[in-house]
Amino acid sequence: MGQRGSRRAPDQARPSQQPNRPDMQHRVPGLPAKVSNRQILTYITLVTIAYGHFVTIGLVFRAAGRDAWVATSLGCLLGGGVVWVQFCVWQAARGRSLMAACTEALGRWLGALISAVYGLLFVCLAAFTLREQALFLGLIYPTTPPLVFMFFLLWGSVWVVRSGMEVAGRMAQLCLPFLVLLGLLASLATLPDKDFLRLLPVLDHSSMQLLHATLLVVSLFCDWVVVGALSDGVDQPQLLPRQAFWVSCLLVLAFLGPATGPVLVFGEPLAQSLAYPTYSEIQFIRLTGVVERLDVIGVLLWTIGSFLRLVLYLLAVTRVLHHVTGGPRSQLWAVPAAWLTAGCAISLLPLSREDLHTLLYQMYPLCALVLGLGLPALLWVAIRVRATRRPQQQAAA
């Protein structure tokens, strides 16, 4: 989806690395994992689509009801801007990553502190993902303790994190077309049940509600700050801002279906009261005589999405830990990162789904805006100021 510019990849000179001989790849310490721009964008797209469809859309319905699609489209376009700003900030830093930008803007110690804050954010988001997925699976497995799901998800993702970023990138590259296809089929299958009259009247909600819903979508894009922690492992980081902007604009298409589907099928009141409206929509599909309800697709879509989201955040946490401590190999931090996440997720256990969703509904958009847009923007300013001051200082000296 829209990774323009990455075609140029083969012509670009790349930093020389140790030869990736098959028998060496496990032995060579610190062999930097590189992924292509296409892979990282596919990855973040998949994660955004899966989590957005699964949780955010439900919250957007709660805020804006049948106008969710307006808020979503608006949010995706604004989100494109947010993403563009973020990647520009990482570009401004020499290491082309979030941590490098922190260091560059704030100096070594303060930079490490802010990096650690981001690390904490990633741990929290990973834990939220874990908890959310466990709660979702709780619908299907009412008596299984959520810890079981959390354990298996975490264990699997640690395995992937240890295998390296390129493995995760490949997984996403393989999964995304498949999941998009399933999603398209699902929205086609719901077509007979859709009543387009239910979208009317348009914009009947107050502008505050619409704004809230838009913010919820924008916060989804603020989460792309996580790519900043990984963007130094990307083939051509300098192309990322533009590519990411277009990808997030294209995501409007991916979100239009789920942002209208539940309202079209269930009507506004019911869509607002369902915990996972898109999942209920998939459940509602009946292909006469063949499949009674397509829960499978839901479980598949959201388990894969949550899993990869978890992997993404864990990868980011390992990178941050690696940066802060300066260890030999970031993958070695996979298990500690998983322990941190597990601790955080277990502390979230007492929260019910309603609490969690209220938290995500009320608090999170602001938090995401601060950490995903505000802070990067500040960093940018700081980097600029330093960059302009440095020649002056040199001149003065």
Partner 1 sequence: MRRQLRQPRQPRRSRPILATRAVSGKSSGQGTHSDIQGKTQPPAPPAETDAAAFAAEAGDGPLSTPVPDVLAADHERLLERSLSDNLHALRQALAGSPDMVMHTLTNGSLDMAVIYVESLADVQAIHQDVLIPLHQAATSELRVGLAAGLEDWARVHVPMALRGQVDGVASAVAAVLRGDALLLVEGCSGGVVLRAAKHKERAIAEPDTEALIRGPREGFVETLATNLSLLRRRLPTAALIVETHTLGGYTRTQVALCYLEGLAPQPLVDEVRQRLARIQLDGALDSAYLEEWLEDHPFFPFPQIQNTERPDTTAAALLEGKVALLMEGSPFALIGPVNLWGALQAAEDYYERYLVVTLIRSIRFLFLLFALFLPATYVAISTFHQEMLPTKLLLSVAAAREVTPLPAVLECLLMEISFEALREAGVRLPRIVGQAISIVGALVIGQAAVQAGMASAPMVIIVSITGIASFTIPRYNFAVAIRMLRFPMIILAGTLGLFGIVLGGLLVLAHLCSLRSFGQPYLQPVTPLVWSGLRDVLVRAPHWLQPVRQSKVRRWWREEAPRG
Partner 2 sequence: MANRMSRGMVPSGLVGARHRLRAGAVAVCLILCMMCSGCWDAHEIDQLAIVTVSGLDAVGDGQGVLGSVQIARPSQLGTEQGGSPTSGGGAGQTFVVVQGQANSPAAALEVIRRQVPRLLILSHRQAVVLGEAYAARGVAPLIDEMVRNPASRLRTIVLVAYHARAVDLLRASNPLERLPADAIRGLEEQSGLPRYNLKDFINGMYGPSDPFALGVRQVSSGGRPKLVIDRIAVFHKDRLAGWLSGPAMDGFLWLKGRMQTHQFTVPMPGLSGEVGVQVLSLRRRLTVDAPQGQPRAKVQLQVRTEVVENGSAFNPNDPQQMQRLQQAVERHIREEVRATLTELQSLQADAVGFGDLLYARHPRAWKPLQTQWRQRFAQMPVQLAIDVRVDRSGLTHVPPSANQTGAGPDGQAGQIGEDGGASPASGG
What does the binding site for partner 1 look like in residue numbers (CB under 8 A)?
9-10, 14, 17, 19-23, 25, 32-36, 38-39, 137, 140-141, 144, 148-149, 152-153, 156, 159-160, 163-164, 166-171, 173-175, 235, 289-296, 299-300, 303-304, 307
The least CB distance from residue 275 to partner 1, in Å, is 17
Handedness of CA 45, 334, 170, 227 (dihedral sign): positive
- Between 224 and 266, CB nearer to partner 2: 266
Residue 266 interface partner, choices partner 1, partner 2, none, CB cut-off 5-8 Å depending on type: partner 2
The least CB distance from residue 174 to partner 1, in Å, is 5
Alpha helices, H only, the chain: 37-51, 57-64, 68-92, 98-140, 146-163, 165-189, 207-222, 225-230, 240-266, 268-273, 277-284, 295-325, 334-347, 353-358, 364-369, 375-396
CA distance 117 to 164: 24
The least CB distance from residue 171 to partner 1, in Å, is 5
The least CB distance from residue 188 to partner 1, in Å, is 19
Provide the b/e sequence for 304-341 (b: ≥16 CB within 10 Å): bbbbbbbbbbbbbbbbbbbbbeeeeebbebbeebbebb
Both structure tokens of 120: 């904490």
* 149 Cβ contact list (under 8 Å, min separation 6): 133, 134, 137, 141
Are 276 and 299 in contact by the 8 Å Cβ rule? The answer is no
- Between 90 and 307, CB nearer to partner 1: 307
Q: Which residues are near partner 2 by CB under 8 A?
A: 22-23, 25-27, 139-145, 148, 151, 155, 159, 162, 197-198, 200-201, 204, 265-270, 273, 280, 283-284, 286, 292-293
The least CB distance from residue 64 to partner 2, in Å, is 15
Residue 139 interface partner, choices partner 2, partner 1, none, CB cut-off 5-8 Å depending on type: partner 2
- Between 71 and 252, CB nearer to partner 2: 71
Residue 273 interface partner, choices partner 2, partner 1, none, CB cut-off 5-8 Å depending on type: partner 2
- Between 76 and 297, CB nearer to partner 1: 297
CA distance 198 to 343: 44
DSSP string, 31-68: ----B-HHHHHHHHHHHHHHHIIIIIHHHHHHHHGGGH
* Closest C-alpha to 59, from 259, 334, 336, 234: 259
CB neighbours of residue 21 within 10 Å:
9
CB neighbours of residue 47 within 10 Å:
28
Residue 36 interface partner, choices partner 1, partner 2, none, CB cut-off 5-8 Å depending on type: partner 1
CA distance 100 to 102: 5
- Between 238 and 273, CB nearer to partner 2: 273
- Between 132 and 232, CB nearer to partner 2: 132
The least CB distance from residue 31 to partner 2, in Å, is 11
The least CB distance from residue 315 to partner 2, in Å, is 17
- Between 120 and 139, CB nearer to partner 2: 139
- Between 197 and 290, CB nearer to partner 2: 197
The least CB distance from residue 151 to partner 2, in Å, is 8
Residue 267 interface partner, choices partner 2, partner 1, none, CB cut-off 5-8 Å depending on type: partner 2
CA distance 88 to 81: 11
